[in-house]
Chains A and B, each alone.
Chain A
Amino acid sequence: MKILIMGCGRVGAQIAALLEQDGHDITILDIDAYSFRRLPPDFKGTALLGNGMDGDVLKRAGIEEADVFIAMTQGDNRNVMAAQIAKHIFHVPRVISRIYDPLRQEMYDTLGLEAFSPTAIFAELVREKVES
């Protein structure tokens, strides 16, 4: 599959590495070239400098052929906006985004975005650990 990831932080870089191992074609976007240091040294995908909320940058990154778009920046609103552009403007078949704020995540989930909240997931995980 052709997978486009926005945000090359720890999580974004790790996802890129894992999915590449599984044989997928990866393009990863970040607004800071320094972030690409997190990619494994043998990364064969494309690392592209640019803002994932900009339609022209997304086109250059090949969003029109992408099967999956993953929004993984630090900013909830940036992820929300880029994910909606991917879904509603470029009609990417599968769009996944991280939204830290559980309330916002819930709302966008009901609006049809596949969003998950690390805050909610982690809190639940810790609760289980504590209570087990």
Chain B
Amino acid sequence: MYIIIIGGGRVGYYLAKALLNEKHEVLIVEKNAQFCDIINEEMGSVCVRGDGCEAATLTEVGTSRADMLVAVTGEDEDNLVACQVAKHKFNVPRTIARIRNPQNEAIFKKLGIDVTVSATNIILEAIEKEVPTHPLTHLITRADKGLEVVEVRIPQDAKTIGKSVKEVRLPEGTKLALVIPKDRKPAIPNPGTVIREGDQIIALTTPELEEELRAILTGI
């Protein structure tokens, strides 16, 4: 694949290295001459100096034949514009933007950016996973499909303990995929499966319903 990276800072640098290792054709666009020199010295001629939001620069680097454009500068607005120019002027099939303000995830999606990556959210999710008291953990988020896979732990005072799955009124659009009991084998739940204390339940839900699902499963 031909992948263009906008921004040759730390994220762009390591991303380019990883993608080159996977044998992709990679090109970085970076404003700062010094950064360009360092990258070109280390990785061969893969960096062009210029403004990745400018159509002229993007023409120069052959954006119309790019399979993907990834904008990873430190500024959300620059990443937005680089992706929009790539999409609307060069018909790049897939655009990915790094965002710093997690609020911008929804905004960028509405403005036509295919994928957003928020370091802030990733760190938050990692912390959630490491904090055992947190009853709901995000495992997979597919923002483009409005779908998430979450893990809910059943705390000792949950109202659902002793109830079967069919007795628990789950929000519409939510499905339980797997139950991992504390001391038994994991099983795919059926309507008769009884929920016990300490169960880890893997469920499919949406960002809107996740809070309701957590409240129902762990409710006191």
Contact = CB atoms under 8 A, between A and B. Distances in A.
Contacts of B122: none
Which of A81, A101, A104: most chain B Cβ within 10 A?
Answer: A81
A130 interface: no
Contact of B81 (A54, A56, A77): A77
A104 B85 CA distance: 8
Interface string B40-72: 000000000000011110000000000000000
A76 B88 CA distance: 17
Contacts of B54: 101, 103-104
B103 A77 contact: no
A107 interface: yes
B76 A53 contact: yes
Interface residues of B, number: 19
Main secondary structure of the interface of B (DSSP, over half): helix
Contacts of A54: 101, 103
Main secondary structure of the interface of A (DSSP, over half): helix
Given A81-B76, A111-B88, A89 B107 contact: yes
A88 B89 CA distance: 20
B107 A80 contact: no
7 contacts: A53-B76, A55-B107, A77-B77, A80-B81, A84-B111, A101-B53, A103-B56
Given A78-B77, A80-B81, 18 more contacts: A53-B101, A54-B103, A55-B107, A75-B77, A76-B53, A80-B77, A80-B80, A81-B77, A84-B80, A88-B110, A89-B107, A101-B53, A103-B55, A103-B56, A104-B54, A104-B81, A107-B55, A107-B89
